[in-house]
Amino acid sequence: APAGDALAHAAARVKPALRFAAHSGEALSVDFDKYSGGHGVFTAGTDSLVQLWDLRRPGAEPAATGGGHDLASRHVCASPFRPREAATCSYDATVRLWAPPEPGAEASAWPAGALRERARLDAHTEFTTGADFCLFLPGLLATAAWDRRLLLWQQA
């Protein structure tokens, strides 16, 4: 077959299985909670919030919400070692670590209410644009920003 034939086949059109009105502004980032069995998703958006959604409750309010960034939350990543915990990057040059509302509630299936800010990482001097937890070393977080720096953080 001619090389161009592969392009002639249209990709299958897939419709979303669920829809959520996730943020009051644009939703900028999403990541699955690693401990929810596929039911939990974190989102971050221009409203500066991080939200944890229970996908078994379409159309419902978020299961938990955290707010504290001064500007848009650009990126969210869920912890691979701590249930219901995530990190967010923001245009306010900070990275925030979020945890379930109550200390000791980490093992609970679904926190309700506000996510609590567990830590504020503020060594970047420009917009923070990315963060990722190491899958092999618990507590190790890498962050990047417009300040041209990669920073590594070791959490207790």
33-44 pLDDT, tens digit per residue, is: 988 888 899 999
Residue 17: inside a domain: no
pLDDT tier for residue 128 given thresholds of 50, 70 and 90: very high
pLDDT in tens, 26-77: 999 999 998 888 889 999 999 999 999 988 888 788 988 999 899 999 999 9
Number of domains in the chain: 1
Q: Would you say residue 101 lies in a domain?
A: yes
Q: Is residue 6 part of a domain?
A: no
DSSP, residue by residue, the chain = --TTHHHHSPPPP---S------SS-EEEEEE-TTTTT-EEEEEETTSEEEEEETTSTTSPPSEEEE--SS-EEEEEE-SSSTT-EEEEETTS-EEEEE-SSTTGGGSS---EEPEEEEEE---SS-EEEEEE-SSSTTEEEEEETTS-EEEEE--
Residue 18 lies in a domain: no
Tell me what pLDDT residue 107 has. 41
% of the chain exceeding 70 in pLDDT: 87
The whole model's pTM is what?
A: 0.84
CATH number of 143's domain: 2.130.10.10
Expressed as residue numbers, the domain containing 42 is 27-154
Domain membership of residue 110 (yes or no) is: yes
Q: Is residue 107 included in any domain, yes or no? A: yes
At residue 106, the pLDDT reads 46
Model confidence at 118: pLDDT above 70: yes
